[in-house]
């Protein structure tokens, strides 16, 4: 596989890594300590990243 093919795979692994972090017991314990409004803001940002907004990092446009 060439270097260009590896970029998508690296991005996928990075996103999966972030998902694992957010679902870990450690972050859940911290969520209990923050208020609901702050958690909602964090959750919205995370969902926007995962759902790939039209101009998101995995939207398919190279920008070049």
| Structure tokens given for 22 | 């957010």
Average pLDDT of 42-63? 67
Average pLDDT of 36-57? 75
Domain assignments of the chain as residue spans, ordered by start = 3-50
Q: What's the Cα-to-Cα distance from 33 to each of 22, 27, 37, rounded to whole Å?
A: 15, 10, 12
What pLDDT digit, counting tens, does each position of 22-40 carry?
777 677 777 777 787 888 8
Helices 3-23 and 25-33, interaxial angle, to 10°?
Answer: 50
Longest alpha-carbon distance in the chain: 46
CA dist., res. 18 & res. 27, Å (int): 11
């Amino acid at each position: 596989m060439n270097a260009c093919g590896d970029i998508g795979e690296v991005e996928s692994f990075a996103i999966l890594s972030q998902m694992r972090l957010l679902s870990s017991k450690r972050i859940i314990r911290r969520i209990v300590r923050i208020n609901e409004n702050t958690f909602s803001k964090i959750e919205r940002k995370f969902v926007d990243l995962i759902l790939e907004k039209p101009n998101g990092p995995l939207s398919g446009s190279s920008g070049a």
